[in-house]
Structure 1
Amino acid sequence: MATCPPYPTPPSSPAGGTLRHAHWWQHTWVRYGAPSTLLALSGLVILALVREETGTEGFLVGLGLAVLPVPLLIAAFRWLDRVEPGPWRNLVFAFAWGACAAALIAIVANSFATRWIATATADPSSADTLGATVIAPVVEESAKAAAVLLVFLFRRRDFTGILDGVVIAGVTATGFAFTENILYLGTAFGTDQLTGDSGMASVTAATFFVRIVMSPFAHPLFTVLTGIGFGLTALSVDHRMPRRVALPLTGLLLAMGMHALWNGSTTLGQFGFIVVYAAFMVPAFGLLTWLVIWTRQRELRTVRTELPAYAVAGWLTPPEPFALGSMRARRIARKYARRHAGKSAARDVARYEAYATSLAFLRHRGRQGKAGPGFVNRERELLNELWARRDAARPALEYAARVAAPPVPVYLPPAPYTPPWPVHGPGPHGGPAAHGPAAYGQAAYGQAAYGRAAYGPAAPYPAHNTHTAHNAHTAHNGHDGYNGYNGYTTYNPYQS
């Protein structure tokens, strides 16, 4: 296992970087302008194709219905990404690729393949079935996987694990399903307009129930398998090319297989769809949900494990690793900063949390030999980002650590014993002396148990100090907070 470089000492100010000459394709306007232009053109083309297929009224109806699950799905994937939130531009690119480029590729390729099969076999019905169960899963999952591949190759710094693959793949598939739902719902509305059907018995209502209510997670579920394959590649120590290609390819093949089973369920008889949905889709969705939540908790444990070393080195304060490893404490810190210093301070705290998480993951990969040759530079860069925001972030995180810390258990002393029999005569405290069993009388709580016999010369504490625990008047008094018998504390201020 590769050893990590030593921790640097905190600088007095963020270190400046050196400028280097960039090629023309590395300029910002090229890196962002070219993909944006291509996606915009794809969006215009797909808009024209869908509108031509559904009509203007059908397109508007389909758009209004198809948009309903989108905010929920995006919020779910963003929630998964809260441990180490990636930049919004990656999510915007993924959604736009799925809704525009992948949808355009799927429409053109599926139509061409289905027509070619129908011409070759002279059987349009079998061509439609073959296109839905074989051609569509291969084409659509490949088109969606292209977005994950592009982010993996060109935004490698933001793609460090399984959750990154899940989020990018899920958002891409959400965009693809959005455009596909517009097409299906708009077509169904057009069919109802021709037949005069309306209400719950309409084709639009049935399509809405199946695609929006029952299975809005279908496309994200398929493509997430591809994202997990890329995430495993990002975590892999083995840098051999066959293994790095095999993991994403395996995920892609699993996504195609699940997609084919889902599309082919309508050909398995009257109840084929229900059987596949209940016996396969729902369990698979539950299993993947558990996997990504478990991965999220594992990442939080990594943060709590790796960051204390930076606290020892002086980069972080001692409470910060705990606060940064708790989503509740992070949320409290952002609210505290917003309440006391405004929105800009809250944004600084959020960035501080993201950079600290990236630093913890980088250190974890470095200890496992996965960080690569740029470990030192990346570590220095992340530490400088933290140092620049420490004034805004540290008070908020220290406050959050105090608020979110688990309660310390306090053990109360036993309640004073009240004997169930009458008492007579002067006791050791001037009260009545107990004439009960020996367990609760003088032998148990008097001289023999807590007097000289217990803390005499053989005991480790002073034996003859009248203020110490050998005094029966002090030792058996449950209200005295400074002797060893009291459960609040074992500290005796009279002892040296």
Structure 2
Amino acid sequence: MGSLPGTLVRIMTSPQLLDRQRWLSGLPPTARRRPWWQRMLHSPLFWLTVVLVPFYAYCLLNQYQMLHPDREFADGTVALGLNNEALRQSAFWAMWTALAYVVLFVWLDRFRAQRPLVWLLTFLWGACAATWISIHVNTWAAEAMNTTSANADMGTRAAIFIAPFVEEASKATVLFLLVVLFRARIVSRLSIVTLAGLSAIGFAFVENIIYYARVFVYANNTIEVTDPQAEVLSLVMLRGVYTSFGHPVFTMMTALGLAIALGTRSKIVRVAAPLGGFVLACGGHMLFNGVASSGDSASLRPQWFMALGLVATLILMLVFTVVAQTQLIRRRLGDYRRVGWLTDRDPVVFSSPFKRMKLQVASLLRGPRRTWLPTTRFMRRISELAYLREGMTRGTIGVGGDDRAREILLELEELRPAALTDTRGLTLFPPRRRKPLTSAPPPQSPGPAGLGGNWPAP
């Protein structure tokens, strides 16, 4: 075969064509030397933050304006508004449930972890945007179904047939948005499950504040209630402890369907899997609300054990997912080890979540800027390399993956001298530096010469 024309070769190897190949595979563009402000302006995450933060503030303010004043309905009944004292105390009690689940889900995102700003935006979406959408749509549905009395929120018809679809759709919207904008960074089920859990916990956090505040206001304005604090704490135990798994479990169903779609090449599965996960989430949510609306605690015991069985099944599935991810990373990093681009210890160390955690803690104790930052960047890049290789093997990443892998390998070599990359012989606390031994000065007392004295012999 003859050689290609020079013009065609220049076109095929142009930076524009290479960036396009990367964009089609969901990879970042070729690294270029740019000032920090240019990198910020070219970052989708920056513009997403600029758009979403004011929207979140508006959603919270609008909900406060809806719930704070008293409301009078057409039948003459009055629903008391939520005062600031009730909201403050309710936020205090709802905060502990949210913190516990946030720590759990952030810890779960061990491999190819998202940026903290992405975690924060996802949590705030559930807390601000999803609750704002749900409260408006659910209120409209309650009015359409003729539940416009003072206890309209407790209308079982809207809670069973409308709220599950509205709430699950509003919580999961941020997942699809992040997949479209950052599909190269969401490469595992753990990542998508973490984002789904954070959105659901944000939603449950604000929802619990509203429910706790309503009970607080009702108990303080009803003479029959002798201990308002006990009434609030009983609801805190019910919603914040016993049934706190509800929203995360349902949203995780949609997330798992979306994760299956991201890992397949079939167009039918890419459409059917997220839709099936959403239907399962809505079905479980409808059943949960229907059982909770019955109000008979004795009849809820079988359903309670069924719910615990579902939660245990999901926990076991997540454990198996973590094990599968460790094997995937070790296998794909082994491809680069066999050709000599990685050390023999790299696949072993960076495929274990416990060894990675030890490296994180030890590097942090040795200095956030000097050791922890290079170690964290090294972990992120080597995890990206493993998932990049997996995508290239499955055929979901095109020819632009080889160039990106070359960039990652060069960056790993630059970070290796300053980062902690092995756990053998590594202690959490840095060893103390011993002062070098120095020769002692001669004693300043008379003595015979030759025995350490500074006076001559007589």
Q: TM class, shorter-chain normalised? A: 0.7 to 0.9
* Aligned mate of 2:411, from 366, 369, 385: 385
Matches of 1:383 and 1:212, distance apart in 2: 46
Kindly state the Cα deviation for residue 55 of structure 1 after the two structures are TM-superposed: 1.5
Provide structure 2 residue ranges, at least 5 long, that are not aligned to the other structure.
1-29, 70-80, 428-458
Q: Are 1:91 and 2:119 counterparts? A: yes
Q: Are 1:17 and 2:32 counterparts? A: yes
Correspondence list, 1:38-437, <5 A: 38-52=55-69, 53-118=81-146, 128-196=155-223, 197-199=225-227, 202-238=230-266, 240=267, 242-268=268-294, 270=296, 271-279=298-306, 281-340=307-366, 343-393=369-419, 396-398=420-422, 400-401=423-424
Q: What letter is aligned with 1:49? A: M
Per-residue Cα deviation, 1:335-381 (whole angstroms, up to 9, x for no partner): 44344555431121122112211211221222122224532243234
Q: What letter is aligned with 1:172? A: S
Q: Check whether the contact 1:329–1:397 (CA below 8 A) recurs between aligned residues.
A: no
Structure 2 vs 1, CA of residues 192 and 119 (structure 1 numbering), >3 Å: closer, same or farther?
closer
Matches of 1:358 and 1:349, distance apart in 2: 14
Q: Check whether the contact 1:200–1:206 (CA below 8 A) recurs between aligned residues.
A: no
Q: Are 1:37 and 2:37 counterparts? A: no
Matches of 1:284 and 1:39, distance apart in 2: 33
Q: Check whether the contact 1:322–1:401 (CA below 8 A) recurs between aligned residues.
A: no
Kindly state the Cα deviation for residue 276 of structure 1 after the two structures are TM-superposed: 1.6
Per-residue Cα deviation, 1:144-171 (whole angstroms, up to 9, x for no partner): 0101111111111221121122111100
The residue aligned with 1:3 is none
The SS at the match of 1:258 is helix
Matches of 1:344 and 1:233, distance apart in 2: 40
Q: What letter is aligned with 1:137? A: P
Matches of 1:381 and 1:312, distance apart in 2: 19
Kindly state the Cα deviation for residue 278 of structure 1 after the two structures are TM-superposed: 1.6
Per-residue Cα deviation, 1:250-274 (whole angstroms, up to 9, x for no partner): 1111111111111100344623433
Q: Check whether the contact 2:142–2:152 (CA below 8 A) recurs between aligned residues.
A: no
Per-residue Cα deviation, 1:291-338 (whole angstroms, up to 9, x for no partner): 111101111111111112223334322212111112222233334434
Q: Check whether the contact 1:42–1:104 (CA below 8 A) recurs between aligned residues.
A: yes
Matches of 1:377 and 1:302, distance apart in 2: 21
Q: Check whether the contact 2:123–2:202 (CA below 8 A) recurs between aligned residues.
A: yes
Kindly state the Cα deviation for residue 403 of structure 1 after the two structures are TM-superposed: 6.0
Matches of 1:127 and 1:64, distance apart in 2: 24
Q: Check whether the contact 1:319–1:401 (CA below 8 A) recurs between aligned residues.
A: no
Q: Check whether the contact 2:172–2:254 (CA below 8 A) recurs between aligned residues.
A: yes
Matches of 2:145 and 2:85, distance apart in 1: 32
Whichever of the two has the greater Rg, that structure is: 1
* Count of residue correspondences: 382
Matches of 2:334 and 2:392, distance apart in 1: 16
Matches of 1:127 and 1:318, distance apart in 2: 61
TM-score scaled by length of structure 1: 0.71
The SS at the match of 1:156 is coil
Deviates most, 98-107 or 24-33: 24-33
Provide structure 1 residue ranges, at least 5 long, that are not aligned to the other structure.
1-14, 405-496
Q: What letter is aligned with 2:421? A: L
The residue aligned with 2:9 is none
Q: What letter is aligned with 1:312? A: R
Q: What letter is aligned with 1:266? A: A
Matches of 2:201 and 2:354, distance apart in 1: 28
Matches of 2:61 and 2:94, distance apart in 1: 18
Kindly state the Cα deviation for residue 198 of structure 1 after the two structures are TM-superposed: 4.6
Matches of 2:48 and 2:84, distance apart in 1: 35
Matches of 2:354 and 2:411, distance apart in 1: 23
Structure 2 vs 1, CA of residues 287 and 328 (structure 1 numbering), >3 Å: closer, same or farther?
same
The SS at the match of 1:330 is helix
Per-residue Cα deviation, 1:163-187 (whole angstroms, up to 9, x for no partner): 1221111000000000000000000
Q: What letter is aligned with 1:289? A: I
Q: Check whether the contact 1:199–1:205 (CA below 8 A) recurs between aligned residues.
A: no
Q: What letter is aligned with 1:182? A: I
Q: Check whether the contact 1:137–1:260 (CA below 8 A) recurs between aligned residues.
A: yes
Matches of 1:94 and 1:200, distance apart in 2: 34
Kindly state the Cα deviation for residue 236 of structure 1 after the two structures are TM-superposed: 1.1
The SS at the match of 2:145 is helix
Matches of 1:119 and 1:329, distance apart in 2: 56
Kindly state the Cα deviation for residue 189 of structure 1 after the two structures are TM-superposed: 0.6
Matches of 1:47 and 1:62, distance apart in 2: 14
Matches of 2:203 and 2:186, distance apart in 1: 21
Matched-pair identity in % = 26
Structure 2 vs 1, CA of residues 278 and 314 (structure 1 numbering), >3 Å: closer, same or farther?
same
Matches of 1:339 and 1:234, distance apart in 2: 37
Matches of 1:324 and 1:111, distance apart in 2: 49
Kindly state the Cα deviation for residue 18 of structure 1 after the two structures are TM-superposed: 7.4
The residue aligned with 2:75 is none
